[in-house]
Amino acid sequence: MTTGSAARALLIEVTIPVYNEEKVLAANVRGLHSYLTAHLPHRFVITIADNASTDGTLAIAHRLREELPSIRVVHLDRKGRGLALRHVWCGSDADVVAYMDADLSTGLDAFLPLITPLVAGDGDLAIGSRLALGAAVVRGPKREIISRAYNLLLRTVLAARFSDAQCGFKAGQAEVIRALLADVEDNAWFFDTELLILAQRRGLRICEVPVTWVDDSDSRVEIVRTALADLRGVARLRRARSRRRPSSAGQDRPAMPGLWHQARAELMTPEQHR
């Protein structure tokens, strides 16, 4: 991505999309900020993207901005995780952009392995996976079945070669993300899937990181409505695929789970870029 002394100036932006998260926001943002301060060898900014919350979430976000350095707050007057990410990422001046859910269901120990291949230039996007070998997941059977069925559907209908489309723990090289966003239509929960499918179809390198993940019992996700919207999105991408030209050589590359092992073994510091 960059070499020499310039590597020390790398900026990582972590976006947290939030909707009515007043119960957990303060503690989790403080925990994330503490973790990044202690472990991340690059500059960072945490952007809290409020999606039209109706509780005290926005006020808490502003207090956190006053309390902690490197906190930014963005407010949108419409709901939509994809909308929030699009808004933040399109205007970001970071080198690597990432996002995670406000409940921090995904263990933070996976964050450095997530961004290391991006910083090293060995990957274009990186995703946390609850279904990859080495992941440790605690959740009920209903959500487990839905998740596995959805990802099986993506592999069957859209030829997806990544294992977990919807885990709220992803990152990408900022210029790559911005180039993809122009063609991503969805602004809600299908946003992740559409972004990854487009990346795969363009031959981009998608790295997978197995994560530790604990189900949030207070999740804001409306399962039935989200599932129906996802099915419509899958159908739309299927139609688009049937209309496009046959893939040229190098496209539809598989995800690269092996890069995680390398990243875990040698978490990259600025000096390692020399």
Given the residues 55, 192, 218, 252, select the one marked as catalytic: 192
- Residue 210 φ/ψ region, left for φ over 0, alpha for ψ in the -120 to 50 degree band, beta for the rest: beta
* Residues 160/196, Cβ–Cβ less than 8 Å: yes
Contact partners, residue 249, CB within 8 Å, separation at least 6: none
Nearest to 165 by CA among 130, 139, 134, 136: 130
Q: With 70 as the cut, is the pLDDT of residue 255 above it? A: no
> Fold for domain 4-264?
Spore Coat Polysaccharide Biosynthesis Protein SpsA; Chain A (3.90.550)
pTM score, whole prediction = 0.85
Domain limits of the chain?
Answer: 4-264
Query: Which tokens go with 47?
Result: 């952007």
Query: Which tokens go with 161?
Result: 């070669």
Helix, coil or strand: residue 68: coil
* Residues 237/194, Cβ–Cβ less than 8 Å: yes
Q: What is the pLDDT of residues 32-71, one digit of tens each?
A: 999 999 999 999 999 999 999 999 999 999 999 999 999 9
Distances (CA, A) of 70 to 24, 48, 81, 90, 209: 19, 11, 22, 19, 26
Contact partners, residue 78, CB within 8 Å, separation at least 6: 51, 52
Report d(CA 12, CA 94) in Å as an integer: 6
Asked about 95 being catalytic, the answer comes back as: no
Span of 36-50, 137-151, 183-197 with lowest mean pLDDT: 137-151
Q: What is the pLDDT of residues 98-133, one digit of tens each?
A: 999 999 999 999 999 999 999 999 999 999 999 999
Report d(CA 211, CA 267) in Å as an integer: 16
**Once rounded to an integer, what is the mean pLDDT over residues 251-264?**
47
